Structure 1
Amino acid sequence: MASDSNSKNNQFRVVLPVIFTFGASLVFFQGNAHADDTNATANTAVTTTQTSDNQQSSNYQNANVALMTAQAVQTHAAEQTANTDPNKGAVDISAENAQNVTNAPAVNTQPNVSTDQVSNTQATPVNGTASTTVSGTGNINTNGLSARNVQFLESIHQGAVDGWKQFGVLPSLTGAQAIIESGWGQSALTTQGHNLFGIKGSYNGQSVTMPTYEYYGGRYVQINDAFRAYPSNYESIVDHGRFLKENSRYSNLIGQKDYQTVTRLIRQDGYATDPQYTNTLNRVIQQYNLTAWDQEAFNDNINTGHIDNVSVQGDNLKVEGWHATNNYDQSMHHFIILLDGNTKQELYRQEVPGTYRQDVQNVYPNAKISGWGGFSLTVPNSANFAGKAIQVVSRYTKNTNGEPNGGDDLWFNSVNLNTNAGYLDNFNIDAATNTLNISGWHATDQSAGKDHHFIILYDATKNRELGRYEVNSAIRNDVAKVYNVYNAGKSGFNLQVNISPALIGDNIQVISRYSNAANGEGNYVDYWFAPKTFNANQSYLDQVTISDNQVHVSGWQAADASVKQQNHFVILYDATTHHEIARKQVSNVSRPDVQRAYPNIANAGKSGFDVTFDFNRAAYAGHQLQVISRYSDANNGEGNRTDAWFTPTTVPSNNQGFLDSFVVKNGEVTVTGWQAADQSYNQKNHFVILYDATTHREIARQQVTNLDRPDVQKAYPSIYSSAKSGFKAAFKLDSSLIGHEIQVVSRYSDANNGEGNRTDFWFNAIKLPQRLV
């Protein structure tokens, strides 16, 4: 593979495949970059957003997506004229506009977005009158080729011919190598970087990274390496000729006109180690009659050139390039003419002095004008150029008015001056100021003659404009460095909008508009940024404290929806039985810690809650108690609402017991003891069960009446019913039980038969004596 150091590995390696097979493709790995979104240390256990139809949503789109110019949705001027001076505070969304959006139905349409349109700043000759400018595939043989392969040959034709004129590299060789090494232009390296020959490094600072194999330590190792990326196949073809010319290894083939000699020399010089490489090249040259390109190149007539730059710089249009020709004498004048590339209407012409180009002189030393054929033209930009395709014509003529008279014309490809680019630096809620902050830039060539810059807030869900605000464009030197666009240096904007319910829940878009009308209509150009939905919902439960008769909960819920759902409720929910226990409407508590962690959520600074509920712990002993924080637009906490469901907490349940006596006498056993259990609140039936632990079967059960036990109440005052937790029961014993292990079980149950939901206390087993006396 070739590199910037003008070295070619000493073996034949087609760069495009990972395995060295003609027509294969380079493996290309691509990964998504992810931003590191660092959240606060608080963790939200469960959050849901609910609407009246019980749908849940969690929508967020990055606002920094560049978005199109021609839009299907028409915006309409708002009646208000808002102040945008940052020293005078934020602007408002009018109540009328907010109400109109609220009343409008949602529509199922895809939001309009804009896409960067960047000018092509290079052009090559295209006019048919220039004798050495080639078109199509020339006189080569294209029989049997697909339309795609013919198009590929057309893309390399001019470059192959120019490679001979500039560097002395035979066009038939260049064409054959391009076909073989790029797989007819279908290799990954070609499709992504127009790199036909696998030359490494960068071209005018542009490169593409691809996986390839290098030979290290006796084996091939796959690596990722940078390869030159070209604007088109033309530049790749010409650069290939330059590579061979500048590498002394291949000096013996420069200027050779016999293709068989050249194909033998290039393999002999080490371009490839494949012994069949020369034969492969010859077969391709012969099959497609590529020598026809050689004959074109041998023509000594020269009329060629290149546009190096057509771009807007500040308030000027800059045009730079060169034109070399044999049809010239010193009496001639050099004119640059600018045409509308679509209508061919002349927009501007000017005679230009020669700007010396040593690089052109080196390539075309025999042309009557080459080195002094360079030109650099600065034209005051105006609305005449905005959005147009500019075609440059270079003309040598004897007439002082620039009309044709002797000399040559060279018509270059059109260059579009229709860049429309933008970026949102900030599109976030500021909880500290309770505003929506919008900042970014919009640079477009079409802003010429459009002196009014508006920022429009648009509800893409309802297809309604919320408001438009004329802004003073801000200095953006950073944009001017990247985009040679008419207003790039003064393309910035900043706007603060007071938070309104109309901003919450729907897809909200920012539109930047340049207009020639004071109300933002008339003739205008728009840039639609990606929509964003303001529905952030974060929360945390700091504390749940359960006592015998109260539950105290504290925490926070920060939700954008609180702007329109202004009733804050805290709800106690029994997650075991799935029913609500209680709810309370609360006043929000200041939480500066939450605002620091979530500065872009509307109510973060005042999102806390701290509330105490009356609560019968015994009634819910052992149940899963869940706290819900809710914002609602209804006074009763229903309607449209946004919830945060926190992780359930188990209500403490105490269950204690003791067997006081186990007396066997006259064929029966009498047992006494106590069981105090919180769950007896809901399980009112008290049973004492006799259980054979030897055979694992129940012997008998009795429902008992609880007995007073002041001693137990003193020891366990917090357990429900401890004061009346005693029991006494007697059971007949069968002689078959002699010697068995017997257990006493005290049980509270919500069923009359002792089954259902129940809470048991199993006492230690006691072995029956050999005699039941």
Structure 2
Amino acid sequence: MDYRRKKRALSHYRKANKKRFLLASSVTMMAFSTGMYTTQVAKADQTETTTQVQQQTVETTQATTEEKTKLTLNTENSSQKTAAENEGQTENDTTVTTTATENMQLQDTEESKVTDTTQTVEAKAEPTETETNKQENVTTQLTDKAQTTVEADKQETQQTTQPTASNEVTAMQETATKNTFTVQTAAFTQNVANNVAVSLAATLTPDHFNIGDSNYTRADAVDLASYQSWLTQADFNKLKQLGVKTAIVKITQGTGYVNPAASKQIEYARKAGLNVAVYHYATFDNTSAGHAEGQHAANTMQNFGLSKDTLIFADMEDESTYSVNAQANLNRFWSALSANGFTNHAVYTGGSYLYRDAVIATVGRDRTWIAQYPYTPARGGHYEQQWRNAGYGAWQFASTAYIPGRESMGSLDVSHDFTGLLTTPVKNQEAGNFDEITLNGNGINIRGWHAADLSASRGHAYVIVYDKSAGKELGRVAYTPTYRQDVANSYAKNIYNAANSGFNVNFSLAGIDISGHELQFIARYSDAANGEGNHTDMWSKGYVLLKNEVGNFDEVKVVGDQLHVSGWHATDRDLNGVTSSLQIIDNQTGRVLRTVNYSAVARPDVVKNGYASYKNAANSGFDVYIPLNGLDISNIKVVAKYGSIAALSSRDYHFDHEANYFDDISIRNGNQLHVSGWHAADRATTRPHTFLIVFDKTAGRELARVSYTALDRNDVANSFAGGIYQAGKSGFDTVISLGNADITEHELQVVARYSDVTNGEGNRTDAWSRPIVVAKRDTGFFDEVRLVNDKLHVRGWHASDRVSANTVANIEVIDTKTGRVLRSVTYTPDLRPDVAKNGYASYKNATTSGFDVYIPVAGLDISNITLVANYTTNSCTTKITSNNRNFERNDGYLDKFYIDGNNVAHVSGWHATDKATTKPYAFIIIYDQTARKELGRAKYTPVSRPDVLHSYAGGTYNAGNSGFSDVKLNLGKNILKGHSLQVITRYTDDLKGDGTYTDIWFPAVRV
């Protein structure tokens, strides 16, 4: 993890070289005796070899000779194990067996394949410069290829308050002494064996590689100490670019040392977008020291401004921490951190650490970062897979990785993340609430929520009932957390299990007397199936629960859009000033859906039936209607409450009923689909948006959808479906345009839908109609639509496959603006042989499809109309529709205008207008343009004007009857010489000539 790992690596190499020395000696002996000398060298992650290398747990070595035996050699780590496996077996009958001390074995078979089982020499503190130089000398003596140059930060060395390690050379010599090999041999030159051993050792060194090289295990994290103070912001940016996600920075060691480069390393990592975790190098060997070091680490984290959810590793590798109480010591370290709010804990250790399993037990394997260096950590290779399968959170696999282009500055330790331990920031937040504690029969119902980040690794959820008065646990109930949307949307939303944090459990009080006792409730997450082990708890306030409530829910029933709840609730509590209420509870989430207050009603029957001893028995009744809109009532119960002191729960109710019927589905006017019927569903409480959807079953696609407003259906309310939500307002009756879709002979279905979103998608409840088969579309043409005097002449043809002997044919005049039918006339179809000849012979009535009718339009506003030709057969209507027609002509002419000697005006001419259909009164008005006033008006009855009928104005309503001849107006003394007079002709709907009118103003004449 820091400089100590450099030492450990050198220790590994030295031990390996000593073993290779022995191996070389043995090989030389065999070579001399047979006249042969062979050497095979292999690197890590290679295939099986013919020699099986095993480790034996003994402290001494012995050499024995047996016929055709194996060569067995203990290696420092699994990389050396693989190399040893590839060394050839000689043909000599002599086998040298070497054994070394085995400190620890993994708990499963897979892990045993990769365990680092040999003791390593590890630094207790940051090394001094003198120790560094000595280390380098020892390294040079071992092998050139195993050289490692480490420059210790002088400032960090000066700040180190812990005692330094013993002289590294001495430590390594001691380790070598422990592994002394006894070799029995004959005449043999030791110098030759030494040369062979050194040659073999020089070939086996860990690979040096660049971070990001795809041939090697992916580097997810780097860990840093003071001797990597050379790293710049650009280096961190480069690490991010190379795929590194996290920087793990050493912050402290022992009880006084603080990494002087930590602040800058944390700053650079954050700016580069890397996650930041930290580690503390542990030296404690008792609980007091553990607590002191935890407090030192916590203080430093606070000084660095690190958040409370920062991941911190305890670096457990120093021999000074060896203790049979290692687990308890580390737990005291954790408790000191937790007391300061730092609860995101994990462990770093190696396979050879003497009390490895004990320290891992404090957090679990999935939160353990294990160290072991193969010679070649190949991507996806043997060791990567073995450590993953062993269940560890992460693996530190090399200390010889470099930033491309910065190799001269030094190497970095790199690690691979298996579970997200290194790369996913983990928070240890916790929140919750006990929403309600109620007596329910002979038990207690406990409802609320408990969200905790630690539940991710503590998956057993319990609610524990604790008798505070008696000082003992009454029992516990395991539960599976349920969905709580309100929590997911609240301030607690960022906690690991916020959305699934609900509990609603029942605790039996059978055989337990809690009268007058104060109870507390504990919501717990534990890593043990029985609720013990490592756990995180949330405690409720104290509750004193008295005599059980009694009562009954006489009726819980949907009536219209409300829930009718009637019954009684008797209690012995003092209800003075207490609010009575009914609550609807969602059984799945335990959430209160709706609360309504009520005033108690008299229930003399309760008194008579054995409950007179209850204080409120005589007035314990309730009879309430609760609105259901917006509530999911598919799985509910009702709770009658007196404030927060008493509650009575009903049984569970499941309102999830649905019924429907399609009264009519028929094609009208080509691609118009008429749909009527009803659809009632309890799910409509939370799905208020109603839709009708037309589905083309033949083409497999939706053709159209329309929203609708539900209609009253009292017949449904009084039917078998009357108990369904809003059954009395479940109707629909609408016409749906299918546009230009070709549905001829297609099979259609209609879907009546309730949805919780405005476009009809989302959560929905559907009712599908029976299929209907669509016949060919009606077709036809309006050859002429023309006014002929006071009638509308309509001529054309209408072909259909839906006609029969009882079909009624009619033409309708429709007001285009309002859609209102202005007039309808029936007709008998005429012969139209031309229709059959011109491509429509396949229609049933092609040769008798004609119509030629005159429709009186007096009294109709025909300024903007549409003509519709209908065939109606057994209440099913098909139609063709004309284009919009506008009849708004207004023409006239003044044939004669003069004033006689008696000041009487004489006016003759004609005025024809389509507006006369709704304006039957005709007037002549004389207007003094000079004085800007009317001089007089006269009502007249239009007279025949056949000349107009046959003129350009002949297509205007009333053209043949539009004349006025010598209409006289006595102007009296109103005339003034020199004034200009105008004649106005007017049609109006008012007998006096006002109201709504249509005028023609003729040119002015000077008097």
Taking structure 2 as the reference length, the TM-score comes to 0.25
Higher relative contact order (CA 8 A, sep 6+): 1
Rg larger in structure: 2
